[in-house]
Amino acid sequence: MQASCGRSVPAPGPRPLPSQRGGCLSPRTAWSGDLGGSYSARDPEGRGIRRPRACGQDGGRGAMRSPKLPGLVLSLLLLLLPPPGPVGGAARFDPTWESLDARQLPAWFDQAKFGIFIHWGVFSVPSFGSEWFWWYWQKEKLPSYVDFMKNNYPPDFTYADFGPLFTAKFFDANQWADILQASGAKYVVLTSKHHEGFTLWGSERSWNWNAVDEGPKRDIVKELAVAVRTRTDLRFGLYYSLFEWFHPLFLEDESSSFQKQQYPLSKMLPELYELVNQYQPEVLWSDGDGGAPDTYWNSTVFLAWLYNESPVRDTVVTNDRWGAGSICKHGGYYTCSDRYNPGHLLPHKWENCMTIDQFSWGYRRNGGISDYLTIEELVKQLVETVSCGGNLLMNIGPTKDGTISAIFEERLRQMGTWLKVNGEAIYDTHAWRSQNDTVTPDVWYTSKPKNKLVYAMFLKWPTSGQLFLGQPKATLGATEVELLGHGQPLQWTPLEQNGIMVELPQLTVHQMPCIILRRRP
């Protein structure tokens, strides 16, 4: 039996590869044959103070032009796995972690693979250093932040005075939605409220410190939700910080070692119920436990309502940041830390939330070109993450005026261009029995067991024109190898022990299915 792989993918325009033309390719192969029973493609199940930096982060090297890298897609006959079943609408969940953790993650999330994080708030006004500006200036009194305020604002200027300057004057939700759609992402998560406490909707519990009463005088959450749902195929999600740095009720509860619960009962929980009922997010991204346990936040009671009674009970996904000690242990999918990229397969569905700007989640006026990850580095993050069973949540930070800066927009559109060719190897895939190759570095695998397909995404074009893959076990006459975006079968030969050698096509720069333009040093 021969696996079919005849879908054609439009070939994008030219771009140079890494060493030679560089970049990331994703080949497409269809092969079937004797697998000897050794294949078992697995389908894994599938912020808290944000400061940790995680493994595998490359340094940024500036803006690139249009990347359109191909990808080797190998179609193998694999042991078929049963597809994940539907989320049980009739299931009831108790307010205990044992019960809540047993909920099956809605299938759409694992299929989506790629989302966009948007950090926007009053911190976008000073746009200096980090979205933690208020904390670093007033609490930690870091010299660079203190000097910035001394040199640029009057002596009596307070953080609240930044509120009216958060104008969102040029915010166009439809334009944002179009850019998000062009990125190839399948979901978006907007910061409805960060640790500063300013809400991007007219929260009745945040009087005079919200986007309807102050600054934009617009319901930002509503506008973006409507635009995303009417103009794109993305799922709409919201980030919400449980705690607020300087909220007096939280500080009073903290001084009682969280024996008091004034803040969650009067502020946090009412806002969460309001967000879910009013805007119906399909991702609820919790963050900022402030050192308090989940029992202080009443997290399990809220989550039981979310899963049993809320208007999004059948489709909503949640993360693992619901109280001190819950991260990477309880909740829907795991985040474990910011920029978490373990580099190996995990038994539980996880997400790598990371930033294009390596030093801040919010917009920074003082960011340099080398602070931003290149498209090659971003594609590598995506490929590594998905091969190990995770989703990539890639962050941008808009300006106080509501514009997405050119470098962020460029990266989003570049990723979308790459995904137009290579998305088949990303969306709705499963982790394969091997996540990366043992013979050739920077080769990562995904699979579609039901279609008998394996995808080998190689990030460097071999100068010899021959790609050696140590993991596939192929059968002559029953296995086909193709390059995504190229469409023609490629010649291959088996290696002596394991693996295959693929003869890559000799193409001109204009014939390359995916091209990346490299910035000169």
Pairing type for strands 443-448 and 453-458 reads antiparallel
Residues 464-478: tens digit of each pLDDT: 999 999 999 888 888
In this structure, what DSSP letter does residue 348 have? B
Fold match, 97-425 / 430-511? no
* Residue partners of 491: CB distance under 8 A and separation at least 6: 502, 503
- Give the per-residue pLDDT at 345: 87
- Give the per-residue pLDDT at 364: 97
Residue 496 pLDDT level (bands cut at 50, 70, 90): confident
Residue 410 has pLDDT above 90, yes or no: yes
Supply the CATH classification number for the domain 97-425.
3.20.20.80
SS3 133: helix
SS3 300: helix
**And the tokens for 371?**
């602070």
Residues 233-266: tens digit of each pLDDT: 999 999 999 999 999 999 999 999 999 999 999 9
End-to-end CA distance of the chain: 50
Q: Domain ranges for the chain, please list them.
A: 97-425, 430-511
Give the architecture-level CATH label for domain 430-511: Sandwich (2.60)
If you search the block for the tokens 């049980």, which residue do you land on? 88
SS3 498: coil
Higher pLDDT, 12 or 348: 348
Q: Which of 29-33, 283-287, 441-445 shows the lowest per-residue confidence on average (mean pLDDT)?
A: 29-33
Mean pLDDT of all residues in 47-62: 36
Cα(68)–Cα(375) distance, rounded to whole angstroms? 10
Residue 357 has pLDDT above 80, yes or no: yes
- CA 352 to chain centroid, in Å, comes to 6
Pairing type for strands 466-469 and 453-458 reads unpaired
